[in-house]
Structure 1
Amino acid sequence: MPPPGAPAEELLVARLRSHARRLFWPAALLVATVGVTAYLYDNLPEGYENWMLLAGAGIIVLLLVVMPFLFWISRTFTITTRRVIVREGLGSRRRREVSHMRGYSISIRRGPLQRVWGAGTITLSDGADEPVRLVNVPMASLVHEVLADQIEVNQILAHRDAQSASRGY
């Protein structure tokens, strides 16, 4: 702990993405597309050419494999000792932050499949701004505990600093 009145250093606690299970179907489609393309290459019916097969396979892979992966990788949740940062977006980035010092309520919602995988959607609401949602977070119970601990530690530090400032230390 830093001495009273000294600013606490901001440290990285965790950096997360949504649960990767949503990439199962794109990965299965990639394997199937490569398999079908390899089987049909040079075995196409009369009137079709190999470039048509490759172009079709390329479009399928681009739209149904690469795009879902890019959307998944473009959203990150960062938890530090001072705040929670949510970054999302491919072309233009959107960034939202919630400070632990300010305090907020934490709610967790878990569907049946999320319970099986240990994931969940965590909503952070400070009552003033729009709630921040950490969608489909892996190890949701652990993330919930970490956030609650960070709020508690930051409020203890703020109270301690306020007490030492009022005493003139």
Structure 2
Amino acid sequence: MAYPDGLLVDGERVVLHEHPHWKMLVVPVLVFLVTVGAGGYLAALVRNQNWGRVAWIALAAVGMLIVGWLTVVPFVRWRTTHFVVTTHRVLVREGVLSRQGIDIPMSRINSVQFRHTLVERLLRCGTLVIESASDEPLEFDDVPDVEKVHATLYHEVADDA
């Protein structure tokens, strides 16, 4: 999925567009599976009771609430988070109902670092640290293929200089 061209300035092109790594969706998927399994088990238990229909409605309502809050919301948050490297800047956009973002011009980037744990190395993701002219370095967690992103960003910074 390409980043919207309307947000780019003249002569700017997208070099890299990523969402956070899929590992942040593991817990929501597990919550979904456990909720559906537990709901099915409980629905089977109350199936032959006089009040079974009311219990089914209550189970469905609670299950939909849990799945909506702990599965759908994290998925939508993941899908609407963008890490974009263009020929002129680094853009990060987050949010569903209220959006927030940060733009870092390539000319203001002083250094680019990455780090990842053993598990993150196996999953091919990590944390990207961009030090710009601001006081604090900016850290972006769960960046997929963080070493490739690091190299691409370093290449773009070197080309901009």
Tell me if TM exceeds 0.5.
yes
Identity of aligned residues (%): 30
Contact 1:96 1:132 in 2 (8 A): no
- What are the within-5 Å matches in structure 2 for residues 130-169 of structure 1? 130-155=136-161
- CA distance in 2: counterparts of 1:124 and 1:24, whole angstroms: 27
| Correspondence list, 1:15-164, <5 A | 15-41=17-43, 43-44=45-46, 47=51, 49-155=55-161
Residue type of the alignment partner of 2:32: L
What per-residue deviation string (whole Å, max 9, x for no partner) do you get for residues 31-70 of structure 1? 3322333344364155452101111111110121112212
Offset of residue 77 of structure 1: 0.4
Contact 1:42 1:50 in 2 (8 A): no
TM-score by length of structure 1 reads 0.78
Question: Which protein has the bigger strand share?
Answer: 2
Q: Is the 8 A contact 2:15 2:87 kept in 1?
A: yes
Which ranges of structure 2 fall in alignment gaps of 5 or more residues?
1-9
In structure 2, the CA distance between the partners of 1:128 and 1:33, relative to structure 1 (3 Å rule), is: closer
SS in 1 for 2:134: coil
Q: CA RMSD in A?
A: 2.2
Are 2:81 and 2:92, in contact at CA under 8 Å, matched by a contact in 1?
A: yes
For these two proteins, the number of residue pairs brought into alignment is 149
Which consecutive aligned stretches of 4+ in structure 1 deviate over 3 angstroms post-superposition? 38-43, 45-48
- What amino acid sits opposite 1:35 in the alignment? G
TM-score (ref. length: structure 2): 0.81
- By how many angstroms is 1:117 displaced? 0.8
8 Å CA contact retained: 1:121, 1:136: yes
How far apart in 2 are the matches of 1:46 and 1:36? 21
Q: Is the 8 A contact 2:108 2:133 kept in 1?
A: no
Q: In structure 1, the residue corresponding to 2:98 is in which secondary structure?
A: coil
In our comparison, the structure showing a higher alpha carbon Rg is 1
Please tell me the residue identity of whatever aligns with 1:115: R
SS in 1 for 2:93: strand
